[in-house]
Amino acid sequence: MLIVDADLRLARLPGSFLCCFCMLAWASSASHCSSLKLDITGQANIQRDAEGIRLNKLSGLVMDEKRRVAGKDAQKGGIDPESEEYAELLGEVYRQAKIKKPRNLVGLAKSLPVGEMEKLLLENIDVKQEDVALLASNRETAVQRWMTDYGGISPERLFRRALTDKEVRENGREDNGVRFSLR
């Protein structure tokens, strides 16, 4: 069994040499033996992945605000967190958020630096079990795509498999990443 640790924030594969080397080794052995089939099981842990899920949700809120402001002209891709555009979009997300905000003497919400706005927003983003399940599924998809696109394995030989109730009871959901097993 091989467990590939995925990016904390998203279901992106890490660029580490060891990860790519291990996945390439699995892909290579699977491509030489056409009868081998791989089960891919995405895993996520609410304690370990909560911070990453919150960061991803905040990033999504900022991107939603960018699309709202720019309309159909919004470009795909991320926003540089150091840019002025990010500060403005985050400020608007903060302004619209229904959270307890620091107030000035007059009773109006204080304007805060980017770091403090991020901190307050992150503290108030809920992480639900559905978010964790979605992250696990996205990790499976990312690895499956990598194996077909770069590993040369046909999709018919890759099977996405959820953890069984028995496996969850025995092992818990301790791991985060993706687990491979041969069929």
Q: With a cut of 90, say whether residue 175 has pLDDT above it.
A: no
Q: With a cut of 70, say whether residue 6 has pLDDT above it.
A: no
What CA dihedral angle connects 161, 163, 165 and 170, to 10 degrees?
140
Spatial distance between the Cα atoms of 79 and 117, rounded to a whole number of angstroms: 16
Category of 71 on φ-ψ map: left (φ > 0), alpha (ψ -120 to 50) or beta: left
Pairing of β 158-160 and β 38-43: parallel
pLDDT confidence tier of residue 114, bands split at 50, 70 and 90: very high
Q: For the chain, what percent of residues have pLDDT higher than 90?
A: 19
Q: How does the average pLDDT of the chain come out, rounded?
A: 78
Q: With a cut of 90, say whether residue 94 has pLDDT above it.
A: yes
Spatial distance between the Cα atoms of 89 and 63, rounded to a whole number of angstroms: 8
